[in-house]
Chains A and B, each alone.
Chain A
Amino acid sequence: MANISLKNIRKVYPPDVTAVDGFNLEIEDRRFVVLVGPSGCGKTTVLRMIAGLEEITGGELRIGGQLMNEVPPKNRDIAMVFQNYALYPHMTVFKNMSFSLELRKVPKAEIKRRVEEAARILDIERLLHRKPKALSGGQRQRVALGRAMVREPAVFLLDEPLSNLDAKLRASMRTELIKLHRRLETTFVYVTHDQTEAMTMGELIVVMKDGFIQQIDTPQNLYDRPCNAFVAGFIGNPQMNFMNGVLERDERGFHMAFAKDRIYFPKERQGGWMEAYSGKPVKLGVRPEDIYDDEASLDKYGDAVINAHVEVSELMGSEVYLYLEREGMNLTARVGPGTTSRTGDKVKVAIDMGKAHLFDPENENALSDRQGKDD
């Protein structure tokens, strides 16, 4: 059992810089948990505290139920994979992988078996006699994973392990890591600033900002029900569009009022929860894929159509990104490749308000029923 429990974890660097505060997280055994957030949000600090590489200023860290605050890294039954691989340059791949086992006085035959087994899984058998400088980035990353695997640890800690790889290799290594997690059936704690990595790999994602947890949820829930504008903007690519307006009500129901436009919420979305915000400024959040420029959608979402100017049209192959401008507001729409909108065109676009999000413009917390709390 290697469930991890972090209770009220706090980290303060001298003289008085708080990196992490009030961090509470329960990670069940064998889960793949991703800590994600922008640079400086404290995610690596949390990982290093779990590893024992950073002292914990306050709170309790338990691994497998055992208090770990004062336990040195080597006794925590963890393995860590670093961003820059952190291989020992003067040792061969075999030696790099076997080093920790030798220190633990594991019998030689067992060391050989484990190293060869890990090398076979990672497809680096033919590299075992080489030194790290003779390996490519991807191969080095595999060796770093292999070094962690041979330990057969209770917890794998991975600190942005794919950041130094090129885009293609990163995509394939993502799949490899998911397979590896299934195969090893061990707890993985993965740190990244890349929301794509977080969404594709994590069973549970912890979104962090400025040392605080913003939301802990499954990838789909984070995407569909972000708890605040930060999470909504951080998760999703291209990121969510935000428009400041006023929530108003007339005979046709609740709508967002902008300087020149009024866009209405569909009947099924309107509810009593909107009354509290009626007449108040709110922030509307719309995902790029919920903005349409085709005739059928303009008819379907006729109550939520605005005029816009196409500043740039980017063909991505299977889809087109339209960068739109309307009354000083910038919007991004993700539309199908069959779109007729081109750079410089004046177009009408429809917004699926049934999927739109509302946020308080002051504290940026989600207001809408999409959080699943209000109605």
Chain B
Amino acid sequence: MNRIPRRILLTCLMLAACFAFIFPFYMMLMMGTYKSETLFRIFAVLPGDYLLENLRTVFARNFLHSYWNSLYIAVFVTLLSSLSSAMAGYAFAKYDFRGRKKLFNVVLIMLMVPAQLGMIAFVWEMKQFGWSDTHLPLIIPAVANSFGVFWMRQYIQDAVPNEVLDAARIDGCGEIRIFFQIALAFIRPALLSMGLLFFLWSWNDYMLPLLVINNSDLQTMPLFIASLKDYMRTDYGAQLLGVSLGTIPLIIVFIFFSKSLIKGLSSAAVKE
């Protein structure tokens, strides 16, 4: 008898939570159809009539180019960071080498230090490399991702049985083949969810591009959206439309991979 009221209560709570998450997103979509000045006068729950104008404003600038920049940077970061994190995590989890503990402590320290602390040094370093105003500072340093290494190490330690690796060695596999042909099969769920996070972080990253990119042709999406303003006026309507359009790849990725994301996140936390 107790079950039905409990179910109703749970459903109501879930609906409230869904509303809390979806409503701001809905408002973002709606507000992108209004003129900037109108936004502050009304509560924009219903679609406005300024969508085409906002679209024109967005596309008149470097929108598609920025979109492409963000997309290819995010894809590169995702692929390279996932691979390097998985390889480093695998080494920490499965090989016994001199200095392993100390090196892993360095990874942990890197994880704890806020990235903002190193920003000035980072910009200086990129300048020394001659990478200023290129996309390289957004891609190459991301390959050494301490979070990714830590996460993959924790996951691989439990998820990849040593006996299977030993069996592969006896079967005749070299260490590289063991990683790519055997170990990767075990860590695919975690790798996929980590890749999604990397994609998300790279796509949404505002601070790093702001520091190293000056050329508008090299702008990424967050920079582009922030640039939708003049000296006298910020076009919030166009900005919100830009943000809405910028969210599309993330939504597509999440729709396709949400299950493996949840599986990867939960299995990384709980040993099966």
Looking at the complex, which one of B161, B169, B185, B186 makes contact with A74 (CB distance below 8 Å)?
A: B169
For the complex, give the distance between the alpha carbons of A89 and B171 in Å. 15
For A205, list chain B residues within 8 Å (CB): none
The answer to whether A89 and B186 touch across the interface, beta carbons within 8 angstroms, is yes
Cβ of A51 < 8 Å from any Cβ of B?
yes
Distance to closest chain B CB from A207 (angstroms): 25
For A80, list chain B residues within 8 Å (CB): 166-167, 170
The answer to whether B167 and A82 touch across the interface, beta carbons within 8 angstroms, is yes
Looking at the complex, which one of B163, B169, B171 makes contact with A99 (CB distance below 8 Å)?
A: B171
Cβ of B172 < 8 Å from any Cβ of A?
yes
Distance to closest chain A CB from B171 (angstroms): 4
- Quick one: given A88-B182, A89-B186, are A78 and B173 in contact (CB under 8 Å)? no
- Quick one: given A88-B182, A89-B186, A90-B185, are A73 and B161 in contact (CB under 8 Å)? no
Instruction: With a 10 A CB-CB cut-off, give which of B161, B164, B166, B171 has the most chain A CB atoms.
Output: B171
For A307, list chain B residues within 8 Å (CB): none
Q: Encode contact with A along B160-194: 1 for CB under 8 Å, 0 otherwise.
A: 01011011111111000000001001100000000
For A84, list chain B residues within 8 Å (CB): 161, 163
- Quick one: given A74-B172, A99-B171, are A82 and B163 in contact (CB under 8 Å)? yes
The answer to whether B172 and A86 touch across the interface, beta carbons within 8 angstroms, is no
Distance to closest chain A CB from B179 (angstroms): 14
For the complex, give the distance between the alpha carbons of A241 and B172 in Å. 48
- Quick one: given A83-B163, A86-B163, A86-B164, are A53 and B173 in contact (CB under 8 Å)? no
The answer to whether A86 and B169 touch across the interface, beta carbons within 8 angstroms, is no
Cβ of A183 < 8 Å from any Cβ of B?
no
Q: Encode contact with B along A276-292: 1 for CB under 8 Å, 0 otherwise.
A: 00000000000000000
For B161, list chain A residues within 8 Å (CB): 84, 86
Distance to closest chain A CB from B232 (angstroms): 60
Instruction: With a 10 A CB-CB cut-off, give which of B163, B168, B173 has the most chain A CB atoms.
Output: B163
Instruction: With a 10 A CB-CB cut-off, give which of B169, B170, B186 has the most chain A CB atoms.
Output: B170
The answer to whether A89 and B173 touch across the interface, beta carbons within 8 angstroms, is no
Residue of B nearest to A151 (CB): B171
The answer to whether A89 and B185 touch across the interface, beta carbons within 8 angstroms, is yes
Distance to closest chain B CB from A212 (angstroms): 25
How many A-B contacts if CB must be within 8 Å? Answer: 53
For the complex, give the distance between the alpha carbons of A177 and B168 in Å. 23
Distance to closest chain B CB from A140 (angstroms): 12
For the complex, give the distance between the alpha carbons of A88 and B183 in Å. 9
Q: Encode contact with B along A12-36: 1 for CB under 8 Å, 0 otherwise.
A: 0000000000000000000000000
Cβ of A322 < 8 Å from any Cβ of B?
no
Q: Encode contact with B along A75-87: 1 for CB under 8 Å, 0 otherwise.
A: 0001110111011
The answer to whether B163 and A74 touch across the interface, beta carbons within 8 angstroms, is no
For the complex, give the distance between the alpha carbons of A84 and B164 in Å. 9
The answer to whether A86 and B166 touch across the interface, beta carbons within 8 angstroms, is yes
Distance to closest chain A CB from B89 (angstroms): 19
Looking at the complex, which one of A48, A88, A104 makes contact with B172 (CB distance below 8 Å)?
A: A104
For A86, list chain B residues within 8 Å (CB): 161, 163-164, 166-167
Cβ of A215 < 8 Å from any Cβ of B?
no
For the complex, give the distance between the alpha carbons of A48 and B164 in Å. 14
Looking at the complex, which one of B166, B169, B170, B185 makes contact with A88 (CB distance below 8 Å)?
A: B185
For the complex, give the distance between the alpha carbons of A80 and B161 in Å. 15
The answer to whether B171 and A74 touch across the interface, beta carbons within 8 angstroms, is yes
For A78, list chain B residues within 8 Å (CB): 170
The answer to whether A100 and B172 touch across the interface, beta carbons within 8 angstroms, is yes
For the complex, give the distance between the alpha carbons of A79 and B171 in Å. 8
Cβ of A316 < 8 Å from any Cβ of B?
no
For the complex, give the distance between the alpha carbons of A84 and B166 in Å. 12
For B182, list chain A residues within 8 Å (CB): 88
- Quick one: given A74-B171, A84-B161, A86-B161, are A53 and B185 in contact (CB under 8 Å)? no
For A296, list chain B residues within 8 Å (CB): none
Residue of A nearest to B173 (CB): A103
Residue of B nearest to A100 (CB): B171
For B166, list chain A residues within 8 Å (CB): 48, 51, 53, 73, 80, 82, 86
For the complex, give the distance between the alpha carbons of A103 and B173 in Å. 7
The answer to whether A103 and B169 touch across the interface, beta carbons within 8 angstroms, is no
Residue of A nearest to B165 (CB): A86
For the complex, give the distance between the alpha carbons of A89 and B272 in Å. 15
Residue of B nearest to A104 (CB): B172
For the complex, give the distance between the alpha carbons of A229 and B186 in Å. 46
For A79, list chain B residues within 8 Å (CB): 170
The answer to whether B169 and A53 touch across the interface, beta carbons within 8 angstroms, is yes
For the complex, give the distance between the alpha carbons of A217 and B186 in Å. 43
For A100, list chain B residues within 8 Å (CB): 170-172
Q: Encode contact with A along B109-140: 1 for CB under 8 Å, 0 otherwise.
A: 00000000000000000000000000000000
Distance to closest chain B CB from A273 (angstroms): 49
Distance to closest chain A CB from B173 (angstroms): 6
Distance to closest chain A CB from B184 (angstroms): 9
For the complex, give the distance between the alpha carbons of A148 and B167 in Å. 10
7 other A-B residue contacts (CB within 8 Å) besides A52-B169, A100-B172 = A48-B166, A51-B166, A79-B170, A86-B163, A103-B171, A103-B173, A104-B172
Interface residues of B (CB under 8 A from A): 161, 163-164, 166-173, 182, 185-186
* Smallest CB-CB A-B distances: 8 pairs: A100-B171, A86-B163, A90-B185, A103-B172, A86-B167, A74-B172, A82-B163, A73-B170
> 22 A-B pairs, CB-CB below 8 angstroms?
A48-B166, A51-B170, A53-B170, A73-B166, A73-B169, A74-B169, A78-B170, A80-B170, A82-B166, A84-B163, A86-B161, A86-B164, A86-B166, A86-B167, A87-B164, A87-B167, A88-B164, A88-B185, A89-B185, A89-B186, A99-B171, A100-B171
